Amino acid sequence: MDLHRLCEPRDEAFAARASSALFLVGALLLAVYLLVEPVPMPDSARSLSWVGLVVLLVCSTLPSLVPLATTTRAGVWLLLPVAAVVTIGVLAHVFPDQLDVAHLLLGLPVLFAASQMRAVAAGLVTALAVGFDVSALLAAEPVAEALVDALFVAAVLGLTTVLLVLVMGRIERLVAELRHLAAVDGLTGLVTRRVLDEALVGALSAAAAREGSALVILDVDSFKSINDAHGHPVGDDALVHLAGVLRRHVRAADAVISRLGGDELAVLLPGCSAAVAAERAQELVDAVRATPLPLADGTLLALSVSVGVAHAPSHATELRALYAAADAALYAAKRGGRGRAGVATG
């Protein structure tokens, strides 16, 4: 694992909120202890404890003062829990009478690292916390008693880290799977409307600086008749077949192919003039007509599509208007006899 990956949190925004909350809680707990002072402390211990309090407060406010990207590049997400562990560990080692507070506070940076960082970083922070705690215990207690206490501390911190890393890793994988499901149509393997919309927004923002971009919407002619005559599985096969035809005739490097829903597919052609878009739309109509669907009984099912083309900025300059223009061109093509391409006007 490279250094950047080691220092990168699972989620920058959530890591910022979590670190601020955890270190602020630690600072408040230490402040309450210093104000109540259930065990009298020498002045030097009290002064150093206030320094530790300031460090915890700095750790809690730093994520809100520095841009998240800068924080990640600088490795601050790993430095924060390390700084907190070192500060608490030094206080525990220098003032062993305050070990009860140290045990509590050391759990906070470990909790942050285990929930927000990758396994290696979380393990490093946990090992550092256990090391400082064991050192302080050995300095304050007989060896046998210190080792028993250290075993309990190490077990609690270690199990907390392992369980949180496993849980957060599982959640991360589930989120990735959900994002994939939201981005890819399960039947055709094409991207979903959401992904197409995001690509369209980017294309529209850049349309004025280039030749423009075109939206091509395809609708299967008489799709209901295909389902009625051959069954819905054949209708699904037809959509998968059409997706394959589009992939073979549209260059994936400069286009986005999407299933909008039902029997409607769409192609985004960025950096494409209106004239070229109209030609490519007709090519898709011809390609579908020339590529019938093989059925299970060995016969071929002829397919045709009607296509609507809208160009930005020629026909529209925003998302909703571009869809409306392409839809209008599509229905004009259907009214004109189907199996043809229509181009938006205006």
**Amino acid of residue 294:** P
Range 86-109 average pLDDT: 80
pLDDT in tens, 119-128: 999 999 999 9
Q: 64: which 2 tokens? A: 């809100």
Q: What does the pLDDT read at residue 164?
A: 93
pLDDT band at 30 (very low <50, low <70, confident <90, very high): confident
253, pLDDT greater than 70 = no
Give the integer Cα–Cα distance in Å for 127 and 254.
49
**Residue 213 near residue 314 (C-beta atoms within 8 A):** no
Which of 15-24, 46-55, 160-169, 202-211 shows the lowest per-residue confidence on average (mean pLDDT)? Answer: 202-211
pLDDT band at 210 (very low <50, low <70, confident <90, very high): low
Range 228-239 average pLDDT: 94
More confident residue, 345 or 284: 284
Q: What does the pLDDT read at residue 139?
A: 84
Range 209-227 average pLDDT: 88
Range 23-48 average pLDDT: 80
1, pLDDT greater than 70 = no
**Exposed / middle / buried, residue 66 (Cβ in 10 Å: 0-12, 13-18, 19+):** middle
Range 138-142 average pLDDT: 86
Range 63-92 average pLDDT: 83
Q: What angle do CA 197, 202, 208 make, to 5 degrees?
A: 125
More confident residue, 253 or 44: 44
**Residue 333 near residue 306 (C-beta atoms within 8 A):** yes
Give the integer Cα–Cα distance in Å for 228 and 64.
60
pLDDT over 70, % of the chain: 95
CB < 8 Å & 24+ apart, contacts of 207-210: 207/312, 207/313, 207/317, 208/313, 210/270, 210/271
Range 46-57 average pLDDT: 82
Q: What does the pLDDT read at residue 334?
A: 92
Give the integer Cα–Cα distance in Å for 105 and 100.
9
pLDDT in tens, 268-327: 998 888 899 999 999 999 999 999 999 999 999 999 999 999 999 889 889 999 999 999
Query: What would the DSSP string read from start to end of 276-303?
Result: HHHHHHHHHHHHHHTSPEEPTTS-EE--
Give the integer Cα–Cα distance in Å for 192 and 200.
12
Range 144-172 average pLDDT: 90
Q: What does the pLDDT read at residue 259?
A: 95
Cα distance from N-terminal residue to C-terminal residue, the chain? 55
233, pLDDT greater than 90 = yes
Domains identified in the chain and CATH numbers: 3-183 (no CATH), 193-343 (3.30.70.270)
Q: What does the pLDDT read at residue 8?
A: 84
Q: What does the pLDDT read at residue 303?
A: 96
Average per-residue pLDDT in the chain?
87
Q: What does the pLDDT read at residue 204?
A: 84
pLDDT band at 203 (very low <50, low <70, confident <90, very high): confident
**Residue 103 near residue 26 (C-beta atoms within 8 A):** no
